[in-house]
Amino acid sequence: KQEVTQIPAALSVPEGENLVLNCSFTDSAIYNLQWFRQDPGKGLTSLLLIQSSQREQTSGRLNASLDKSSGRSTLYIAASQPGDSATYLCAVSNNDMRFGAGTRLTVKP
Amino acid sequence: DAGVTQSPTHLIKTRGQHVTLRCSPISGHKSVSWYQQVLGQGPQFIFQYYEKEERGRGNFPDRFSARQFPNYSSELNVNALLLGDSALYLCASSLNSLSQETQYFGPGTRLLVL
């Protein structure tokens, strides 16, 4: 059974800092991995999708990497801003989509 | 273009009642999936429908059912509500199959069972 773990559970950084969020999964037989952002009480916004054949994807200040063999992905956020404060979720897809519990990020002005 | 829409936004029910949640996918999307997100946890997969047929089911009891209509909108039904069914219910749509494409999520329906 696929299990997805995100570390740390919560993270607080000062504005401007670069940061890395981690995601690990137990079954490497995945089709893709997706990173989402969720604001309190809201739905999920897709940030980046990495297909199983890819190693990384970039969008603006965000860069996500995927190492399928080791069951790991990282989300790198450059020059963090207070508006980046949210919960970040990773999800892996095989026959269904399995989510981690998320990392709650706070960026302090 | 409108994104994924869900109704209602909030709902309060009592134990034993049933509830129907509705989802309209992005125009042109044929796949709809439902997720339950309990506070402090990641979403859990409930169902996927593609072209009006059930394509996947998560580990949820038979009290949970869903269907997809010819216009690709979908309903999630939950019978005999329990306190533990209180959660944010998310709907997501994609163009085709779940496994290969970006999922676009709606704002969710927050269900409170008293």
Query: A42 and B48: CB-CB below 8 Å?
Result: no
- Residue B78: burial class (beta carbons within 10 Å; 0-12, 13-18, 19+): buried
Distance (Å, rounded) from C-alpha A94 to C-alpha A41? Answer: 27
Structure tokens at B33: 């999936």
The region that residue B100 occupies, defined by phi over 0 for left and psi between -120 and 50 for alpha, beta otherwise, is alpha
How far, rounded to the nearest angstrom, does the alpha carbon of residue A16 sit from its chain's CA centroid? 19
- Output the pLDDT for position B74: 97
Residues in chain A, pLDDT under 50: none
Model confidence over B45-81: pLDDT tens digits? Answer: 999 999 999 988 999 999 999 999 999 999 999 999 9
Q: For residue A51, give the chain B residue with the closest CA.
A: B100
Please give the pLDDT value at position A80: 97
Closest to A89 (Cβ–Cβ): which among B42, B106, B107? B42
Least CA distance to B89: which residue of chain A?
Answer: A43
Residues in chain B within 8 Å Cβ distance of A99: 35, 42-44
* CA distance readout (Å), B46 to A52, A60, A84, A87, B64: 23, 33, 29, 22, 8
Where helices occur in B8-97 by DSSP H, the ranges are: none
Angle at B65 between CA B36 and CA B96, to 5 degrees: 75
pLDDT value for B84: 96
At A96 the pLDDT is: 82
pLDDT at residue B98, rounded to an integer:
60
Q: Can you count the helices (H) and strands (E) in chain A?
A: 0, 11
Residues in chain A within 8 Å Cβ distance of B110: 41
Closest CB to B42: pick one of A94, A96, A99.
Answer: A99
pLDDT of B99: 64
C-alpha A43/C-alpha A36 separation (Å) is: 10
Q: Can you tell me the distance from the alpha carbon of A35 to that of A33, in angstroms, rounded to the nearest whole number?
A: 7
C-alpha distance across the termini of chain B, in Å: 37
Output the pLDDT for position B56. 87
Cβ distance A43 to B48 less than 8 Å, yes or no, reads no
B100 pLDDT more than 70: no
The reported pLDDT for the residue numbered A74 is 97
